[in-house]
Amino acid sequence: MQTIPSSHRVRRQRGRAKVLSVPVIIMALCWLAPAAAQDMVEAALDAAGVPKVGAFLPNQYDVARTEPLPIDGVWRVNTINKKIRIEQGRAYAIDSWRHLFVLQISPGMVVMQDFRRTGAGVYMAEDLPLLGPATLTLNREGHLDVAVQGKLGPARYQLIRLDAQYPDALSHELTAMAGGAAPPSFAPPPVAPLPGMAPQPAAPVAPVSPIQPGAGAGSAPGQPLPGMPATAPMPLPAPVQQPAPPPTWTPPPAAAPPGVPAAPVPENCTPIGIDPDTGLTICA
């Protein structure tokens, strides 16, 4: 009967304990707040040596931009405490995080795309990590309530507003939702000058479209939403002048040897030379 040295038994027990401790730690962390649990779960997975696989998501430069929207800006996902940026029809990660324990979402990866405005304060998009359509609705605090019908089941989370790209447009969205009540301001507060410093002149701002009474659920086709920059149509590029084709070069006919009369040139012949032996014209 073969006996196992005590040192080997100790190492085996430690290995089993390490393997068994990972799911126990993850189950215990699930009782914490979701945002705090996300960071602690990632730390536990890193400590246990669980590998990371890059999430199969497109890069922000691989997804074409569309029209800007009032909800463009920086938002924080409340369930995982990670920041994303909504920008012209797609949202990409600013922070990195693990999804489904092994998929690594890195900065610049697109997590939502195909944004479209369906009404005052209501938007639709495709949530790529959760694999399903998402409905985003502005609430009274200026945050976005998100409901996703994912392939792994329905999910709900909230996008907490951090930096609105178009604060005036976001305010007028809430105005339209409230039936014309005074809009809240999401513009950053003015910066007071330092003692003894002259106040700096205000930076020029892009012109915005005028507020029309009753503007809300939509605007006329081709017209910007209230508070959005009135962008002029992009000029069409000038047509590229194609270079003229190079002239075709035809070698001059070779002179006939002395005393030999020139042979007649056949019809439909492009002469390229004369045979020195026969004096006949060589056609192309």
pLDDT tens per residue across span 166-186: 999 999 888 888 776 555 555
Of 123, 149, 177, the residue that ends a domain is 177
Q: Do 42 and 70 lie in a common domain?
A: no
Residue 58 CA: distances (Å) to CA of 88, 106, 166, 191: 15, 11, 26, 38
Report the alpha-carbon distance of residue 223 to residue 93 in Å, rounded.
Answer: 30
Q: What is the pLDDT of residues 212-223, one digit of tens each?
A: 333 444 455 556
Domain limit, last residue, from 122, 142, 177: 177
Q: Using CA atoms, how far apart are residues 196 and 190, in angstroms rounded to an integer?
A: 17
In a domain, 54, yes or no: no
Q: Which two tokens stand for residue 183?
A: 């809009």
Same domain assignment for residues 139 and 38: no
Establish if 158 belongs to a structural domain: yes
Same domain, 74 and 161: yes
Q: Is the pTM higher than 0.85? A: no
Retrieve residue 12's tokens. 């085996």
3-state secondary structure of 278: coil
Q: Is the dihedral of CA 141, 143, 149, 152 positive or negative?
A: negative
Number of domains in the chain: 2
CA–CA distance, 164 with 168 (Å, rounded to integer): 9
**What is the largest distance, in Å, between two alpha-carbon atoms of the chain?**
117
pLDDT in tens, 88-123: 999 999 999 988 878 999 999 999 999 999 998 999
Burial tier of 158 (Cβ tally within 10 Å: 0-12, 13-18, 19+): middle
Whether 86 and 121 map to the same domain: the answer is: yes
Q: Are both 37 and 80 inside the same structural domain? A: no
Residues 42 and 127 in one domain: no
Q: In angstroms, what CA-CA distances link 41 with 217, 237, 263?
A: 42, 52, 95
Predicted confidence band of residue 202 (pLDDT cuts 50, 70, 90): low
Which pair of tokens denotes residue 169?
């447009």
Helices and strands, number each (H, E), in the chain: 3, 13
Mean pLDDT of 15-26: 49
- Structural domain including 89 reads 66-96+110-177
User: Over the stretch 235-253, which tens digit does the pLDDT of each residue have?
Assistant: 556 667 777 777 777 666 5
My answer on whether 82 and 173 are in the same domain is yes
The answer to whether residue 59 sits within a structural domain is no
**Same-domain status, 38 and 72:** no
Q: Is residue 199 part of a domain?
A: no
